[in-house]
Amino acid sequence: MVEPLVYHLKNYGIKTWYDRDKLLMGDNREEINLEKGVWKCNYALVVISKFTVDSVCAMEELSIIESKYRQGKIIVFPVVYELSPNDIPDRLCWIKELIFKEVDRHSGTREVCSHIVCKITGNILNNCIHQKVRDIISTSQEILPSGVYDIIRSYLQIDHANLNSRISLLYAAYLVITDTKRINANSITNMVSCVFDRLFSETRLNLPVDYRELWLLENSLCILIDFYIDSCTESRI
């Protein structure tokens, strides 16, 4: 279950700390896995199974994560694997304070990762001017790349149930913005590009999506718009 979760998160452009990718025999586990991994992360994806409490290492990591969560220093994404919520051990009952996903060996993991990246992009938007797609058309039309204003206006007029058309317009706006090559590349803009490119490469925009995936694309476009406007402001200065 963990391997496909890591795979999808990396395809979304999310930097991940995964011990199998980072640790070698002979490494100092406390220095590398706990200090560089658990203590320094802002988000934690935890997979709870019936075997978790039997792992000393896992319980030590979860103890640190719970402490950081109680202090408001970390956001936790709990996944309960082949385990009834009623059977979650008492030592991990704090997990049930959060919205969690129940999965089994037959479940897909893309939906879980879509939730995670939607949350991460939503947090990034807290520091952006344009936090909703509707906010974009409040920006002066002359500031936006040619055509983006009309694309967004059309997007807002489409029936909410017409998901494929809405996604196609969001993707069109993304292509127009990135074609300007005005945005400086960084970890956030790279993540946004991965979100759109992954969707297109895997589905060619013909897919049954849920509203959280659409929500994720809206978040990503708003972030991109803010970076575009910032780059235009810097170039004028």
Per-residue pLDDT reduced to its tens digit, 97-115: 999 999 988 887 888 998 9
Please name which of 116, 85, 124, 121 lies closest in space to residue 102, comparing C-alpha atoms. 85
Query: Which of 33-37, 40-44, 131-135, 190-194 has the weakest average pLDDT?
Result: 33-37
φ, ψ of residue 76 in degrees (nearest 5)? -110, 130
DSSP 129: S
pTM, two decimals, is 0.87
Which two three-digit tokens encode residue 5? 């979760």
Q: In angstroms, rounded to a whole number, what is the distance separating the alpha carbons of residues 141 and 143?
A: 5
Q: Is 186 left (phi over 0), alpha (psi -120 to 50) or beta?
A: beta
Per-residue pLDDT reduced to its tens digit, 7-50: 999 999 998 888 777 777 777 777 777 777 788 889 999 999 99
pLDDT at 210 over 70: no
Torsion of CA 190, 196, 198, 204, to 10 degrees: -160
DSSP 185: P
Cα distance between the two ends of the chain: 49
| DSSP H helices in 71-210 | 110-125, 133-136, 148-157, 163-179, 187-203
